[in-house]
Amino acid sequence: MPGIEYLIAALSSFNIMLALLGVIAGTVIGSLPGLTATMAVAVLVPITFSMEAGSALILMGAIYTGAIYGGAYAAILLNTPGTPSAIATTFDGFPMAKKGHGDLAVSLACLASVTGGLVGATFLLLLSPPLAEVALAFGPVEYFWLAVFGLTLISALSEGNLLKGLIGACFGLLLACVGIAEISADVRFTFGSQVLLGGIETVSALIGLYCIPVLIDLVATPDKHLKVTHEPRGFRFLEALAISWKLKLSLIRSSVIGTLVGILPGAGGSIAGLVAYSEARRTSKNSENFGKGEPEGIMATESANNATVGGGFIPTLVLGIPGTPPDAVILGALMIQGVKTGPSLFTEGGSIVYTFIYGLFLATILMLPVGLVIGRYAYKTIITVPKAMLVPTVAFMTMIGTYAIRNSISDIIIMILLGVVGWFLNRFGFSPSPIVLGLILGRIAEQGFVQAWTIGAATDELMKMFFGRPISLAIIAFILLSLFYPVIRSRWSKLNWRGANDK
Amino acid sequence: MTSSQKPIRTGDTGGTVICCIFIILAAVSLWDTTHMLDSDSYVFPRAIAIALIVFSISLIVWNLAHPDIAQQQRPQNESTVRRMLLIIIMLLSCFSMPWLGFLISGVITFALLMVVAMYHEWDARKRIIYPLIAIAIVVGFYTLFSRVLQVPLPTGLLFE
């Protein structure tokens, strides 16, 4: 193991305290809808300027880890992803909470986040330099196919009507086009409104599409928000542990997916969660339960999004290219500290890098007790608070959280209106998830598509550009597998059934 | 599933109407792309708008071919008035924010939403405790965002 002396340095009482405080602060900030991991790290970065570089990194890594996990609370208990990374957590987390298993869902999310975080940190510790090459191998066309891969989840999220899912996704993709085009800078779909020039803010749209419909339905009836069972059940930790052990392969696979997606600059936790969810659903024996409260769905997403923390640090530290937006903030803080990133950092700056990586392990392990305690408190609060307090509190949180993203009142109005549209659409069977998927993946897909198209057209190798690169072909294979695997599997089982009957 | 939420066979008229709205939206989007000069700007949205029209027409045709498709029936005891009040209050809060500031508009919004979401009787205890908790929550969040997170929340033109 590289540098055992750095492990001892990371375990100083000061660093343990920093890691604990960072995880608590990050978890609380991440749990508030609208406050992202990037914001959590950015806001708390100035505290680190007076610290030693290793300790500063430990604090920032702990805040980042905690914030990514914190997003799961609102996703599970309010159907609102606290951070974009937790979008796919809502798919099964909220249905589980509605059935009265919110406490179990929170514990599962915590265990999965810790596992994902540890896998990501292990990759960062042992395989950073070779894995950093993966980031360089990904061109625009690979990003395009990755976004298309994410879009294949529509078939899983369409709740029985694929056409409605596809229509929702197209609506989301059109919403993603609003504002100034990233490549050509043309103004699109603003219809003269200056408010729309900046485009539709993704997190505000997420809050609107997921949280406002919940509020609209919450206020309409005197019924409880979540099903409540009266017997005390504690953390349900052993139950969560047993499920995690049963799903260990899925957990590890999702963590590895999260790490690899985290390495890709700009991809981030939301795509990692969606891709891991898609893969978990494809390979699961209970694939038909996905979207209805399947624990494996929560575990896949949460392990993947927390694995992006370690994964994202690989290109950040080895190449100086931030893997995720919070990594960019941390990279800036490192520069202020006078740390030069690059391949030589692991040899010349070992004391900082390895102390930080061991600190990341420490923060991730501390997330287990912290996450369970805060999660339990959040769950108990949500189920015991009277509706007359819950509705205004959640409404107020959505408004202040949306405002804080771009300091814009217009964003709050757009968020509310999108919520109303989402509620109407949901009423007629158009689920909000495909819309969100289109909105998030639209920008990545368009940018990748247009860049690849331009390069392909300029080099007169358009087909080769899209279908002639090995990584692209591998992703296309996964896309086809993801789309047609349910059909192949059902045909296969029918054939087996016929074969068994013939005997 | 409660008895009031059992599927009934009514057809998907709502879905068809929404598809028509989406077709109009896609047509308007297509028209808007004609003003764009660079092909980089219009290729992607144009493709999406056409796909939206194709999928919407397909769903309309499907709905016409299957007029007795099962639909989920909604519970009967839902309050539309409270729903509308929730949205109106939240929107009014946004419009009043530049004038009253985040804090005052937040307290008023919170209080009004509390009244809208209340299904039990306002006894003496609730009349005292709930407003106090409301003020504590709004002031707590205001302090967290404006002081700790340094978010420049509107102070209000009337108080400048």
How do residues A69-118 score in pLDDT, each as one tens digit? 888 888 898 888 777 788 889 889 989 988 888 889 999 999 999 999 99
Q: Give the per-residue pLDDT at A157.
A: 65
CA gap A402, A208 in Å, rounded: 9
Half-sphere exposure of B89 (CA within 13 A, CB side): 27
Tokens of B36: 């764009």
Average pLDDT, chain A: 84
Query: Tens of pLDDT along B50-85?
Result: 999 999 999 999 888 887 766 666 666 788 999 999
Are the beta carbons of A158 and A434 closer than 8 angstroms?
A: yes
State yes or no: pLDDT of B4 exceeds 50.
Answer: no
Chain A's closest residue to B56, CA to CA, is: A167
Query: Tens of pLDDT along A267-302?
Result: 677 788 888 998 888 888 888 888 888 999 999 999
Q: Which of A410, A432, A439, A417 is nearest to A177 (CA)?
A: A439
CB contact under 8 A, B59 and A177: no
State yes or no: pLDDT of A498 exceeds 80.
Answer: no
State yes or no: pLDDT of A155 exceeds 90.
Answer: no
Q: Which of A367, A382, A229 is nearest to A303 (CA)?
A: A367
State yes or no: pLDDT of B115 exceeds 80.
Answer: yes
- By Cβ distance, the residue of A163, A171, A416 closest to B62 is A163
Residue A44's H or E segment, with its range, is: helix A37-48
- By Cβ distance, the residue of A35, A177, A221 closest to B45 is A177
- Establish if A443 touches chain B: CB-CB under 8 angstroms: no
Q: Give the per-residue pLDDT at B21.
A: 96
Q: Give the per-residue pLDDT at A160.
A: 62
Residues of chain B by 3-state class (helix, strand, coil), percent to 5:
75, 5, 25
State yes or no: pLDDT of A340 exceeds 70.
Answer: yes
Which of B66, B93, B113, B127 is the best residue to mutate to test the A interface, defined by the most A CB atoms within 10 Å of its own CB? B113
Considering the entire predicted model, what is its pTM?
0.81
Residues of A in contact with B26 (CB under 8 A): 170, 174
More confident residue, A339 or A147: A147
Q: Which residues of A395-426 are buried (b: 16+ CB within 10 A; e: fewer)?
A: bbbbbbbbbbbeebbbbbbbbbebbbbbbebb
Task: Kindly tell me the burial class for residue A173, based on how many C-beta atoms sit within 10 Å of its own C-beta (0-12, 13-18, 19 or more).
Answer: buried
CB contact under 8 A, A425 and B77: no
Query: Tens of pLDDT along B81-101?
Result: 999 999 999 999 999 999 999
CA gap A415, A434 in Å, rounded: 17
State yes or no: pLDDT of A250 exceeds 50.
Answer: yes
Per DSSP, which regions of A338-381 are E strands?
none
CA distance B41 to chain A (A): 6
Tokens of A192: 């003269």
Q: Give the per-residue pLDDT at A46.
A: 73
Q: Give the per-residue pLDDT at A401.
A: 85
Q: Give the per-residue pLDDT at A172.
A: 93
Question: Measured in Å, how far apart are chain A's first and last C-alpha atoms?
Answer: 56
Please provide the DSSP assignment of B15-73 as one string. Answer: HHHHHHHHHHHHHHHHHHHTT---HHHHHHHHHHHHHHHHHHHHHHHHHHH-TT-EEEP
More confident residue, A38 or A293: A293
Residues of B in contact with A400 (CB under 8 A): 102, 106, 141-142, 145, 153
- Establish if B2 touches chain A: CB-CB under 8 angstroms: no
CA distances from A169 to A101, A269, A437, A480, B121 (A): 30, 20, 7, 18, 44
Percent of chain B with pLDDT over 90: 54
Q: Give the per-residue pLDDT at A365.
A: 93
State yes or no: pLDDT of A227 exceeds 70.
Answer: no
Put simply, the chain A residues between 224 and 283 with a CB less than 8 A from any chain B CB are none
Query: Tens of pLDDT along A124-146?
Result: 888 877 777 777 777 888 888 88
Q: Give the per-residue pLDDT at B78.
A: 81
Q: Give the per-residue pLDDT at B85.
A: 96
CA gap A427, A390 in Å, rounded: 23
CA distance A221 to chain B (A): 5
Q: What are phi and psi of B20, to 5 degrees?
A: -60, -40
CA gap A84, A317 in Å, rounded: 24
- Establish if A393 touches chain B: CB-CB under 8 angstroms: yes
State yes or no: pLDDT of A471 exceeds 60.
Answer: yes
State yes or no: pLDDT of B28 exceeds 80.
Answer: yes
Q: Give the per-residue pLDDT at B157.
A: 78
Are the beta carbons of A53 and A394 closer than 8 angstroms?
A: no
The number of beta carbons lying within 10 Å of the beta carbon of residue B139 is 13
Least confident range of A211-220, A363-372, A401-410, B3-12:
B3-12
